[in-house]
Structure 1
């Protein structure tokens, strides 16, 4: 279908994108102009898998926050001891810590109060803090929020060091046995969680509502040594955009930014599909002579709808027909129209996979130019986990690109890695700084 031709990337195109991505990495590391931010984490190594101890973790990446205690058992094993998830706003309970009317100090004191509910009296906890918002990190435990995203507008936090705000909240509640050690983002947590159990893991990525990737840089420009780098790769923009992509970008909140995420991320692929379907309806290629309003309302089509279109294996696409009747209010459709819908969804999802594979290829060639070592890419997120065929297709593309190096790269689902990863990060920092571990404190 000619209208979808721009979504079908050849292996040559994938490799060209990988090359541009690799150059953007190099430029970003050198301080040159780049759409990759290449943010240092100040974590200079991956876990050995032998770290031990009980650690407290906070996972703050949206309007729901998790607190957990994790026991690292060594021998690449760990277990979650306590875990609690709570919303930052609850109408029934009458609170909302995400509005401009709420002070940042109140938000962090609320989080500290939730942490207190899972602590064992008398026990000391090094703390790892996953904070997945755009931040300027200047040290392993120093990260200033640049700008709130994800519907949060709490006042008095932007421009402030979130580790310091949390430390003050702990002091107000007299939680002196909680010792903040490190701030990371969710990609770093995903990588650390996988690396604790897999010595080949050196890339961490989120493929869900949003998209981002981090990796272990062999030679950080700050230290000349290894360091985990958060690329903020969703902002990469040297990509072959179609007219549909440009339309989505024009209508978005931040035109010209987060281009890769808009072409590949779960928040946008439903909207991109809707824009294509709307164009097909206007051109009388679908549902003539009538039209469904749902395809003319922005963001009414979700990634979950695409999953439904792709998952229907029946000869007459009966589930697609049911979806059209119940969700889209289209009482009848022809098989050809249902096939067209599935073809559109397939094109959008396949290109998402190809673009992500291209960026991974760029990272792999950067960290291992001679292709001499094995690599595991740790991935968390709903697209990779739940979208039909996504993980298999991604692995297939990477396998084909590196066909001369069997076993060179594998991908691995690393669920909820951002929470456990914060605990592992705290353990690494404890070891790096030579502080007495909580194991020793507990035994004393």
Structure 2
């Protein structure tokens, strides 16, 4: 390769996230510099057209006013779900946000699909600054092996209780009094029909667990208390949270402007702190006496991935993914945005390109014929490669997807372009959802304000919220945290949507990382109860 071509390819790589500039750069090089290729001129033109069509199909609908129009439609679906849908927009029992002056050490549990974490979390107050307001003083990680998953019914929870006891006695260097209940809070990564802040009916857990055998429908708080008692440990489970609610609470402690918690990794979800008056009473079910007297706002589990039916701009590849999915209509938005599916969308497009344009020498690597064989982690590595010859991307792809055709720089540049279209679209769709929820919250508070008497102390709080210049969205998850350029792209789209709204002047929506949010959020929930 000549020095000129090396320099040109460096320019191509540098422009890989710039939409049309990317395509023009790649194809200009292809058409002018790759004269020794055995591929025909028709095939080269076909690749050019393929990439242009892919960009138009994936990025076109979110360009111009497209994303704003989509956000309006999404907003209406969310408003409808606040009134009737039983699967989405589920109000929790958490109606208190921290004031930032809660202090102390709190025991928090995080029960996931592969790990149990038990931690002592210290809250020090907002005056310590966002980085020092919270600290995980000590933490123990326990792998949930197949043997543990095979524990049936109460035996699994007794295993949990033994790990809590072990953490208290060894890691925390303390004994626990049997007479006085030890308050704990738990992030629970499984389905539950919550009936109180610290309780709820256990649902089938899935993910290979047998712990639900004989216990489905029983109160999770009581199950944990009984299991701990069997291990001579007196525990009271005072708060149960899902991951998005914990994410919101974890940052609300250090950032008083936090009103949303976004999870974007393998799956996607958002928790939103919304006015109770914006939600149909029928969605609350039975609540403790006086709950509505205390709660003006409540954290809502949006189940965001379920939205988007009949309004999302589906491509033929999206339809193919849905067709091959066991639940094709269950989570339309998640299928287009989350880490579980980004790699699969790229795989479908890539196989299409190989078969119709001669990309990769017209040879589909055998592994790519399998569903979900192209991981989002792999396309993240490809997009993150800034070397002039894309050597890191080529090495990664070749190792995971060996083929008789060794991928060239041009092959990898095209794959990188396809991946960028898919990831940018994902970031834009998430931005539209965040903006729609922000808008719903604003309108809900405005309506609430009109119902409050002038003497109501709540008026001050609502007015302060409405006049808040910055709203913080806490986030956690591998895609938004680690995928190259994703966070910046999502933030840019949110800002553009906000600027398009007259009432958005002088306001901002800021995405802020929430590390270890499951444990920290659980501790904050416990602190809010004790304050």
Global fold match (TM > 0.5):
yes
The Cα offsets for residues 355-379 of structure 1, whole Å up to 9 and x where unpaired, read as: 1001001110011137742200000
CA contact (8 A) 2:260 2:272 kept: yes
How far apart are 1:424 and its partner, in Å?
A: 0.9
Following the alignment from structure 1 to structure 2, what is the Cα–Cα distance between the partners of residues 190 and 64?
A: 18
Among 6, 19, 25, which residue is 2:78 paired with? 25
Query: What displacement does 1:84 show?
Result: 0.9
Q: Which runs of 5+ in 1 are unaligned?
A: 91-95, 432-444
- Partner of residue 78, structure 1: 134
SS at match of 2:374: coil
C-alpha separation between the residues in 1 aligned to 2:242 and 2:274? Answer: 16
- Distance across 1 between alignment mates of 2:106 and 2:182: 5
Aligned partner of 1:16 among 38, 58, 69:
69
Cα deviation, residue 74, structure 1: 2.9
Q: Which moved more, 1:335-344 or 1:260-269?
A: 335-344
Task: Give 2:337's match in structure 1, choosing from 239, 242, 264.
Answer: 264
Change in 2 beyond 3 A, CA 1:422/1:54: same
Residue 211 (structure 1) aligns with: 268
Q: Which has the larger radius of gyration?
A: 2
User: 1-side partners of 2:374 and 2:389: how far apart?
Assistant: 22
| Cα deviation 1:20-50 (Å, max 9, x = unaligned) | 22222222221x247x611121111211111
Q: CA deviation at 1:265?
A: 0.6
RMSD: 2.0
Q: Please, which of 322, 347, 360 is the counterpart of residue 249 of structure 1?
A: 322
Q: Deviations over 1:53-82 (max 9, x none)?
A: 221111113221111111222346222222
Q: Does 1:121 align with 2:175?
A: yes
Describe how 1:32-43 pairs up with structure 2 within 5 A.
32-33=84-85, 37-43=88-94
> 2-side partners of 1:153 and 1:19: how far apart?
43
Give the corresponding residue for 2:384: 311
| 1:160 paired to 2:256 | no
Q: Aligned to 2:475, what secondary structure does the other structure show?
A: strand
Which is worse superposed, 129-138 or 398-407? 398-407
Deviations 1:303-323 (A, max 9, x none): 111111111122332222223
1:70 partner SS: strand
The range that moved more, 376-385 or 271-280, is: 271-280
Whether 1:231 and 2:302 are equivalent positions in the alignment is yes
Runs of 4 or more, structure 1, over 6 Å off, are none
Q: Structure 1-normalised TM-score?
A: 0.89
SS of residue matched to 2:361: coil
Give the aligned partner of residue 104 of structure 1: 153
Match of 2:107 in 1: 56
User: 2:378, 2:397 within 8 Å by CA — same for their partners in 1?
Assistant: no
Residue matched to 1:273: 346
**TM-score, length-scaled by structure 2:** 0.75
Kindly tell me the number of residue pairs found equivalent between the two proteins.
421
Correspondent of 1:88 among 140, 144, 148: 144
Whether the 8 Å CA contact 1:208–1:382 is kept in 2: the answer is: yes
Partner of 2:471: 375
CA distance in 1, matches of 2:149, 2:64: 44
Q: What does the per-residue CA deviation read over 1:223-248, in whole Å, with 9 as the maximum and x for residues that have no partner?
A: 37211111111111332222211211
Alignment of 1:191-206 (within 5 A): 191-206=248-263
Q: Give yes or no for contact 1:17–1:359 (8 Å, CA) kept in 2.
A: no
Work out whether residues 383 and 419 of structure 2, in 8 Å CA contact, stay in contact via their aligned partners in 1: yes
Structure 1 stretch displaced more, 219-228 or 355-364: 219-228
The alpha-carbon distance between structure 1 residues 153 and 406, as it changes in their structure 2 partners (threshold 3 A), is farther
Aligned equivalents of 1:233, 1:278: Cα separation in 2: 30
Report whether the alignment pairs 1:283 with 2:339: no
- Is the contact between residue 221 and residue 236 of structure 2 (CA under 8 Å) also seen in structure 1? no
CA distance in 2, matches of 1:11, 1:375: 25
1:297-336 to 2 correspondences below 5 Å: 297-330=370-403, 331-336=405-410
Secondary structure at 2:253's aligned position in 1? helix
Measured after TM superposition, the shift of residue 157 of structure 1 is 4.3
Unaligned runs of 5+ in 2: 1-51, 128-132, 169-173, 285-291, 447-465
Bigger proportion of residues as helix? 2
Asked if 1:294 is matched to 2:367, the reply is yes
Task: Describe the SS at the equivalent of 1:47.
Answer: coil
User: How far apart, CA to CA, are the structure 1 residues paired with 2:515 and 2:296?
Assistant: 29
1:179 aligns with 2:240: no
- Larger deviation, residues 57-66 vs 122-131: 122-131
- Residue 409 of structure 1 pairs with residue 504 of structure 2: no
Structure with the larger strand share: 1
Residue aligning to 1:93:
none
Kept in 2: contact 1:97–1:106 (CA 8 A): no
Q: Greater CA deviation, 374-383 or 109-118?
A: 109-118
Provide closer, same or farther for how the CA distance between residues 420 and 33 of structure 1 changes in structure 2, counting only shifts above 3 A: closer
Deviates more, 1:408-417 or 1:212-221: 212-221
Taking structure 1 as reference, are residues 401 and 287 closer, same or farther at Cα in structure 2, changes over 3 Å only?
Answer: same
Show the counterpart of 1:391: 487
SS at match of 1:97: helix
